[in-house]
C-alpha cells in the first residue's frame, strides 16, 4: 500500500518555504516519509500594517486554522511568531536545532553599526530593536519597515535604495543564502535577540499521536530548553512579540556563559539573559539567571519576576 505524503503547511514567503523545505527534507531523511508543501496565506502576508498593530500570532493563525480543519498534517512556524499560551488542541512536536539567534546589520559600503554617520537612516520593524538602537546613543534615525528579507535588503543594497542600513535576524538571512551580504553580526550585549529568535516550531494536532512521535525525531533538546526559558520569561511578563522585550538563553557548562558545551567540564546549565527597554531607549533593565535545563521554564519565570521587581512593567506600559 502506498503511504500518502504528509502535508506540511507553510507561508508562501521565500524564508517560510526554505524553512519548511528544510524540515521536510530532514523528516524524510530521518523517517523515510514523503512530505509535500501546502501554501497557506496568512493575514500578516496580505497586510502592510506594522506587526504591532496586527497583533500576536498574525503569521500563524491561518496555519493553525488549516491544521484544525485537517487541511494539512503539520506546520512549521518561526517560533518567535507563536503566542506564548499553549493551544488546547495543538502540540509543538519538535523544535529543531536553532540557527544563530543574533541580529545583523546590513549597511551601505560594508559599514559596521559604530561606523554609521550621525543621522543615518536605519530600518527595522521591531520595537525591541528600535529601543535598543536608541539606547546606544548613536544619533541614528530609525524608521519602521515591513516586507520580506529581500525587500528590506533592497532598501539598502538595491538600485532604488533609500536607507543607510537595516537590521534583520541572522537566521533568516542565512537561511535564504544571503549571509555574505551581512556587514556586522551584532553582539547580544548591544542588541539582545527576541525570545525564540532563530528557532522553528513544528506543530501538529495533539491527537495525532503517531505523527507526534514521528515528528519528535527532529527535536533538539538543547534548543527546546533554551526557547522554553526565553518564552517563559515573555509569558510571565505578559508581553507579546511586539513588546520591547529581549531574551537569550545559552546552554553552557558549569554555569558560566563563557564556557562551551562539549568540553567535558561541569554540569550542563542554562544561562538566560533578559532585558526590557523603554521605546525611547532612555531606560533599560537587563538581568540574568542560571539554572538547569530541567528547570528551563522556572528560570524564565524567575527572571521575569526579577525584571518586574526592578520596574519592567513601567517600561512596557510606556508603549501604549
Examine the pLDDT at 282 and tell me if it is beyond 70.
yes
Alpha carbons 153 and 104: distance in angstroms, whole number: 12
Confidence of residue 316 (pLDDT cuts 50, 70, 90): confident
- Give residue 52's pLDDT: 46
- Give residue 146's pLDDT: 84
255 in the Ramachandran plot: left (φ > 0), alpha (ψ -120 to 50) or beta? Answer: left
Least confident of 66-75, 78-87, 106-115, 232-241: 232-241
Least confident of 100-104, 136-140, 302-306: 136-140
- Give residue 245's pLDDT: 94
Instruction: Assess contact for 260 and 206: CB atoms under 8 A.
Output: no
Question: pTM value?
Answer: 0.88
Once rounded to an integer, what is the mean pLDDT over residues 53-68?
Answer: 77
Give the dihedral of Cα atoms 64, 70, 72, 76; nearest 10 deg: 30
Grid coordinates representing 43 are 493575514
Examine the pLDDT at 55 and tell me if it is beyond 60.
no
Secondary structure string (H, E, C) spanning 281-309: CCCEEEEEEEECHHHHHHHHHHHHHHHHH
Confidence of residue 57 (pLDDT cuts 50, 70, 90): low
Alpha carbons 63 and 292: distance in angstroms, whole number: 33
Alpha carbons 61 and 160: distance in angstroms, whole number: 34
Q: Reduced to 3 states, what is the DSSP secondary structure of residue 196?
A: coil
- Give residue 216's pLDDT: 98
Once rounded to an integer, what is the mean pLDDT over residues 96-103?
Answer: 97
Confidence of residue 199 (pLDDT cuts 50, 70, 90): very high
Q: Which of 45, 65, 70, 81 is catalytic?
A: 81
For the stretch 288-299, pLDDT in tens is: 999 999 999 999
Alpha carbons 126 and 140: distance in angstroms, whole number: 16
Count CB neighbours of 82 within 10 A.
24
Q: To which residue does cell 515591513 refer?
A: 146
Q: What is the percent of the chain where pLDDT is above 70? A: 87
- Give residue 177's pLDDT: 96
Instruction: Assess contact for 274 and 247: CB atoms under 8 A.
Output: yes
Once rounded to an integer, what is the mean pLDDT over residues 9-24?
Answer: 95
Examine the pLDDT at 305 and tell me if it is beyond 70.
yes
Once rounded to an integer, what is the mean pLDDT over residues 195-207?
Answer: 97
Q: Reduced to 3 states, what is the DSSP secondary structure of residue 220?
A: coil
- Give residue 241's pLDDT: 56
Active site residue 180: no
**What Cα–Cα distance (Å) separates residue 275 from each residue in 57, 199, 280, 281?**
22, 19, 14, 12
Count CB neighbours of 268 within 10 A.
16
Count CB neighbours of 85 within 10 A.
9
- Averaged confidence pLDDT in the chain: 90
- What sections of 186-295 are H helices per DSSP? 209-215, 221-236
Once rounded to an integer, what is the mean pLDDT over residues 54-61?
Answer: 64
Amino acid at each position: 500500500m502506498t503511504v500518502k505524503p504528509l502535508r506540511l503547511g507553510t507561508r508562501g514567503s521565500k524564508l517560510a518555504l526554505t524553512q519548511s523545505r528544510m524540515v521536510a527534507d530532514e523528516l524524510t531523511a530521518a523517517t523515510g516519509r514523503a512530505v509535500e508543501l501546502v501554501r497557506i496565506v496568512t493575514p500578516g502576508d496580505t497586510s502592510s500594517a506594522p506587526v504591532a498593530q496586527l497583533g500576536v500570532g498574525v503569521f500563524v493563525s491561518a496555519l493553525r486554522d488549516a491544521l484544525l480543519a485537517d487541511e494539512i498534517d503539520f506546520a512549521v512556524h518561526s517560533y518567535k511568531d507563536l503566542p506564548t499560551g499553549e493551544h488546547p488542541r495543538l502540540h509543538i512536536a519538535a523544535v529543531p536545532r536553532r540557527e544563530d539567534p543574533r541580529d545583523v546589520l546590513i549597511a551601505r559600503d560594508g559599514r559596521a553599526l559604530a561606523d554609521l554617520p550621525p543621522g543615518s537612516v536605519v530600518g527595522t520593524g521591531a520595537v525591541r530593536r528600535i529601543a535598543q538602537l536608541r539606547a546606544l546613543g548613536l544619533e541614528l534615525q530609525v524608521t519602521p519597515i515591513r516586507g520580506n528579507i529581500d525587500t528590506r535588503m533592497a532598501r539598502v543594497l538595491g538600485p532604488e535604495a533609500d536607507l543607510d542600513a537595516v537590521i534583520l535576524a541572522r537566521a533568516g538571512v542565512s537561511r535564504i543564502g544571503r549571509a555574505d551580504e551581512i556587514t556586522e553580526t551584532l553582539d547580544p550585549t548591544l542588541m539582545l535577540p527576541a525570545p525564540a529568535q532563530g528557532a522553528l516550531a513544528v506543530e501538529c494536532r495533539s491527537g495525532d499521536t503517531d505523527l507526534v512521535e514521528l515528528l519528535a525525531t527532529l527535536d533538539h533538546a538543547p534548543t527546546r530548553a533554551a526557547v522554553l526559558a526565553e518564552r517563559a520569561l515573555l509569558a510571565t511578563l505578559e508581553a507579546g512579540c511586539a513588546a520591547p522585550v529581549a531574551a537569550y538563553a545559552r546552554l553552557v557548562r558549569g554555569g558560566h556563559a563563557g564556557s562551551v558545551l562539549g568540553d567535558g567540564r561541569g554540569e550542563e546549565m542554562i544561562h538566560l539573559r533578559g532585558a526590557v527597554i523603554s521605546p525611547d531607549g532612555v531606560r533599560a533593565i537587563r538581568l540574568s539567571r542560571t539554572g538547569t535545563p530541567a528547570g528551563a521554564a522556572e528560570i524564565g519565570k524567575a527572571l521575569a519576576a526579577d525584571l518586574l521587581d526592578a520596574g519592567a512593567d513601567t517600561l512596557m506600559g510606556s508603549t501604549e
